[in-house]
Amino acid sequence: MGDQYFEERKIANNTPIVIWWTPFTMDMGSYKECRNIKKTCFFTNIRRYRSQSNLKAFLFYGTDFSLYDLPLPRLDLEDWGLLHEESPKNNYLFSFEKIMNLFNHTATFKRESDLPLLTQYLTSIEDLESTEFLVPVKDKNLFQVEENLAPIAYIQSDCNTPSDRDIYVKALMKYIKVDSYGKCLHNKDLPKNLNQAVVSMNSKEFYKIIAKYKFVLAMENAVCDDYVTEKLWRSFYIGAVPIVYGSSKSKEIYPDTGTAIDILDFNSPKELAEYLTELNQNDTKYKNYLRFKRKNGVKNPLLLELMSKRKWGINNDREKGSYIDHFECLVCERLHQNLGRIKNGETKVTWQANKQHFGCPSPYTFSEEGILLNQPDNSNYVPNNFLTSYQFGYVQQKVFFDKYYNTNLTNLTYKTLHLETLKFHRELFISGKNKIDLK
- pLDDT tens, residue by residue, 336-356: 999 999 999 999 999 999 999
Backbone angles phi, psi at 414, to 5 degrees: -60, -45
Contact (Cβ atoms closer than 8 angstroms) between residue 82 and residue 107:
yes
H-type helices in 7-163, by residue range?
Answer: 97-100, 125-129, 137-146
From residue 55, alpha-carbon distances to 111, 200, 337, 417 in Å are 29, 44, 15, 28
Residue 430 has pLDDT above 90, yes or no: no
* Vertex 307 angle, CA 61 and 82, to 5°: 15
Q: How is domain 125-306 classified at the CATH fold level? A: Rossmann fold (3.40.50)
Per-domain residue ranges for the chain?
3-119+319-365, 125-306
Q: How confident is the model at residue 115 (pLDDT cuts 50, 70, 90)?
A: very high
Residue 3 has pLDDT above 60, yes or no: no
Residue 199 has pLDDT above 60, yes or no: no
Amino acid type, 149? L
Residue 379 has pLDDT above 90, yes or no: no
> What confidence score (pLDDT) does residue 315 get?
84
> What confidence score (pLDDT) does residue 79 get?
98
Amino acid type, 423? K
Higher per-residue confidence, 299 vs 377: 299
Q: What is the mean pLDDT of residues 189-200?
A: 72
> What confidence score (pLDDT) does residue 36 get?
76
* Pairing relationship of beta strands 17-20 and 39-44 according to DSSP bridges: parallel
Q: Reduced to 3 DSSP states, what percent helix, strand and coil does the chain have, rounded to the nearest 5?
A: 35, 10, 50
> What confidence score (pLDDT) does residue 412 get?
86
Give the separation between CA 217 and CA 223, rounded to whole angstroms.
Answer: 15
DSSP class of residue 96? S
> What confidence score (pLDDT) does residue 384 get?
46
Radius of gyration of the chain (CA): 24
What is the pTM for the complete model shown? Answer: 0.92
Q: What is the mean pLDDT of residues 271-287?
A: 98
